[in-house]
Amino acid sequence: MAATTEPQQNAGRRLRLPRLRRDGGRASLGPAAKKEALTAYFFIAPYLLITLVFTVGVIAFAIYVSFTDFNLFTAPEWTGFDNYTKALGDQKFIRSLVNVFWYVIIVVPIQTALALLLASLLNVKVRGSRFFRTIFYAPSVTSSVVITMIFFWLYLKTGFINLAFTKLWAAFGAEWEAINWLNNPTGLFQGIAQAFGGDISSDLWYLRGPSVTWMAIMFQNIFTTAPTFMIMFLAALQDVPPGLYEAASIDGATKWQQFRHVTVPMLRPVILLVVVLGTIGTWQIFDQVKILTAGGPLDTTLTPVYLIFTEGLGTLGPPRMGFASAMAFLLAAIIFVFTLIQRRYIERGTEMY
């Protein structure tokens, strides 16, 4: 009689599944499975407890507070949607949203393009590439407060930036007038209009564009954030199959055409991630404003998060925690809408990658 082979023996065996008992018509786990599940929940209990208390609990309390008049010293008094109505009609809050809107539409595209450019350059296998990767990434691992203080000294009227421009202008026989970068409320479009003999009135402040001080903070943010996104792009570039570039080269595609039709499409999922993270980060800018300008000059660098900070803790007046919470949730709604729009237009077609 022929011996039974091992595959035939395995084929005759039944796959053993966890036994389920039916109590009252409901399937339930066996004792061993229940014990294993309880053990798993026991191990993750500290994390779940911290999440419930300090995340879910805090958010739920903030939602409640946003519908009350709460000054941190007396019991909250229910006011309904009054805080949201006041926030939507508050001139400072509206101005802070306009300031950050300029910040988003300028910083996010520039830092994304710069990060992609740096990643493409560092993806080339040349001697010293690791050294340059480290140098370019160094600003991102430095404390934001330290970087901001360094730029504070650079932006002084007697700082190194004005000194560099003075030397450069002198080389061409011209004279550079020092700019007070951290106290110049002149808007971008306002400055252009003034150059041609015009001006934009203070009533149309939203048309003046980002101020000189605000653009100085933008430059600092691009300098410190682009290297982080560069690392993301660099990791994604190393996953692009080299055969795609070889096929494109055989078809006669130039380097620019390969970058446009091969590299960028393959990086669309990462581009979406970078744009979304960049947008969220720019809407929530706080530390640079707190250290450099405190919202000035003339509220041209005022941001929603800094305004929420001052209103909630009462640094410039009585604390209004309910009003600050309402502004916080309005800001969260704006960020959520921007994220949805970006996902719709950038993520479309990324499934194939």
Q: What's 249's domain CATH number?
A: 1.10.3720.10
Task: Say if residue 316 is in the same domain as residue 332.
Answer: yes
Q: What is the pLDDT of residue 351?
A: 54
Position of tokens 């508050």? 90
Could you tell me if residue 282 is inside a domain?
yes
Q: For residue 28, list its beta bridge partners.
A: 21
Closest C-alpha among 210, 185, 195 to residue 110: 210
Task: Say if residue 141 is in the same domain as residue 73.
Answer: no
H-only helix segments in the chain: 6-12, 31-51, 57-65, 82-89, 91-122, 129-141, 144-155, 160-171, 188-195, 212-237, 242-250, 255-258, 264-266, 268-283, 287-292, 304-313, 321-346
Closest C-alpha among 312, 251, 266, 328 to residue 96: 328
Could you tell me if residue 8 is inside a domain?
no
User: What is the amino acid identity at position 201?
Assistant: S
Distances (CA, A) of 101 to 45, 56, 105, 151: 41, 29, 6, 23
Could you tell me if residue 20 is inside a domain?
no
Task: Say if residue 106 is in the same domain as residue 183.
Answer: yes
Q: For residue 29, list its beta bridge partners.
A: 20
| C-alpha to C-alpha distance for 7 and 4, rounded to whole angstroms | 9
Could you tell me if residue 9 is inside a domain?
no
Task: Say if residue 165 is in the same domain as residue 198.
Answer: yes
Task: Say if residue 108 is in the same domain as residue 228.
Answer: yes
353 residues of the chain, pLDDT tens digit each: 444 555 455 444 554 544 544 444 455 667 888 888 888 888 999 888 998 888 899 999 999 999 999 988 888 899 999 999 999 999 999 999 999 999 999 999 999 999 999 898 888 877 777 787 788 888 878 888 899 999 999 999 888 999 999 999 999 988 888 888 999 999 999 999 988 988 888 888 889 999 999 999 999 999 989 989 999 999 899 888 888 888 988 888 888 898 888 888 889 889 989 999 999 999 999 999 999 999 989 999 999 999 999 999 888 888 999 999 999 999 999 999 988 888 887 766 555 55
Q: Which residues contact 177 (CB under 8 A, 6 or more apart)?
A: none
Q: What is the pLDDT of residue 29?
A: 65
Where among 52, 83, 114 does a domain terminate? 83
Q: Is the pTM of the predicted complex or chain greater than 0.95?
A: no
Task: Say if residue 68 is in the same domain as residue 186.
Answer: no
Could you tell me if residue 67 is inside a domain?
yes
Question: How many domains are contained in the chain?
Answer: 2
Q: What is the pLDDT of residue 190?
A: 92
Cβ atoms of 102 and 218 closer than 8 Å: no
Q: What is the pLDDT of residue 115?
A: 93
Could you tell me if residue 179 is inside a domain?
yes
Task: Say if residue 138 is in the same domain as residue 34.
Answer: no
Provide Rg for the chain, Cα atoms: 28
Domain boundaries, position 41: 29-83
State the maximum Cα–Cα separation within the chain, in Å, rounded to a whole number: 107
Task: Say if residue 127 is in the same domain as residue 194.
Answer: yes
Joined tokens for residue 36: 């294993």
Cβ atoms of 30 and 19 closer than 8 Å: yes
Could you tell me if residue 17 is inside a domain?
no
